[in-house]
């Protein structure tokens, strides 16, 4: 069973049909929407500030979602996929976004709706990513606009994770 901890009297809240892997950790001021998944070794740590996650979002294996004490909360929209070993910290990720494997999104960054942060990219603090764009590199820079195929990939990934979760229930 996943580790779900109350911190300073605040217990995580989950929407309907969420799946948490046995060694996922969800702590403190976390509010998660419906049909969300948190996978193996992922940590969603709302101990120093709040974390809000919309519907149909997935936090994949080894990802870390955190925030900054008294400064930067984390907001993750609907249909967001945060890939393996990514770090999302004190930022806003709007709807229909894909954060690639090993990417880092730092405090006060805003990832616009329909965007992709490529695997291994580092989004520096305060960076504003335009909706519907792909950013890659260290630090992350604009590469191109999201095309129809990538839009389908973003949607398909978000739709697939609740299906995968059913295999584990």
The domain 3-168 is classified under which CATH number: 2.40.70.10, 2.60.40.10, 1.20.1080.10, 2.160.10.10?
2.160.10.10
DSSP run (H or E) holding 133? strand 133-136
How many other β-carbons are positioned within 10 Å of the β-carbon of residue 75? 18
In the predicted model, is pLDDT for residue 167 greater than 90? Answer: yes
Question: pTM above 0.85?
Answer: yes
- In tens, the pLDDT along 48-66 reads 999 999 999 999 999 999 9
Distance set, CA 102 to CA 17, 31, 48, 97, 127 (Å): 27, 24, 23, 15, 18
Averaged pLDDT score across all residues of the chain: 98
In whole angstroms, what is the distance from residue 54 CA to residue 8 CA? 23
- In tens, the pLDDT along 69-109 reads 999 999 999 999 999 999 999 999 999 999 999 999 999 99
In the predicted model, is pLDDT for residue 169 greater than 90? Answer: no
In whole angstroms, what is the distance from residue 92 CA to residue 75 CA? 5
Using pLDDT thresholds of 50, 70 and 90, give the confidence band for residue 17: very high
């Amino acid at each position: 069973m996943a580790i779900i901890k109350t911190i300073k009297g605040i217990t995580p809240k989950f929407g309907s049909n969420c799946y948490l892997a046995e060694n996922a950790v969800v702590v403190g001021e976390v509010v998660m929407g419906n049909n969300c998944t948190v996978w193996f070794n992922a940590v969603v740590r709302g101990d120093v500030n709040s974390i809000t996650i919309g519907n149909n979002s997935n936090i994949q294996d080894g990802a870390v979602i955190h925030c900054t004490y008294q400064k930067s909360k984390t907001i993750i929209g609907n249909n967001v996929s945060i890939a393996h070993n990514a770090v999302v910290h004190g930022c806003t990720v709007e709807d229909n976004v894909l954060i690639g494997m090993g990417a880092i999104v730092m405090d006060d960054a805003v990832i616009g709706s329909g965007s992709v942060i490529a695997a291994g990219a580092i989004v520096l603090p305060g960076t504003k990513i335009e909706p519907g764009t792909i950013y890659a590199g260290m630090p992350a820079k604009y590469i191109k606009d999201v095309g129809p195929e990538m839009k389908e990939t973003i949607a398909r990934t978000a739709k697939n994770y609740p299906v995968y979760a059913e295999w584990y229930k």
